[in-house]
Amino acid sequence: MDNTPDWLSSEFFTQCLQNEENKQNVVVTEFRATSAIPPGEQYGSCPFRVEVVYKDSAESLQLQSLSLIVKSEVTEGAIKEVVESYGSCEAMFYKTFLPRAKVLQSFIPKSLSSPKFSQIVLEDLTQHGFVMA
């Protein structure tokens, strides 16, 4: 069963990447999304591990790939109400605090700008050897 949300699309990742320096002309050619955690492990968000394949421009023949973690808010049920009562603290943490704190710590995920405020797009650190405890 595919539980990938409709908004998680090539267009979504194109917008995320185009906000990055030197990537204004990027073209996403494909992506593969899988659940980042086993069912029942996380109740406050819906994280996906996504492999994005892209080109730097429409004319480029060289494909590149990027592994990301995309965290989305829970969209239904009682958990949604509880999470909403805390506001958008997690999104603000990744988009505001971490970039400023990055000078203090070199092993944090890069946060990409998402066209949807409540969705968080992060570099997947497993590509650098990080293992969840």
Summarised one tens digit per residue, pLDDT across range 71-105 is 877 665 555 555 555 556 777 777 787 777 776 66
User: What would the mean pLDDT of 45-65 be, rounded to a whole number?
Assistant: 93
Instruction: Convert the pLDDT of each residue in 4-49 to its tens digit.
Output: 888 899 999 999 999 887 889 999 999 999 988 877 666 567 789 9
Domain spans, the chain: 10-128
What's the pLDDT score for residue 115? 86
Record the pTM: 0.64
When mean pLDDT is compared over 44-53, 61-70, 114-123, the highest value belongs to: 61-70
pLDDT at residue number 57: 94
What are the DSSP calls for the chain, one per residue?
-----TT-SHHHHHHHHHTSTT-TT-EEEEEEEEESS-TTS-SSEEEEEEEEEEESSTT----EEEEEEEEEE--SHHHHHHHHHT-SHHHHIIIIIHHHHTTT-S-SPPEEPPSSTT-EEEE-GGGGT----
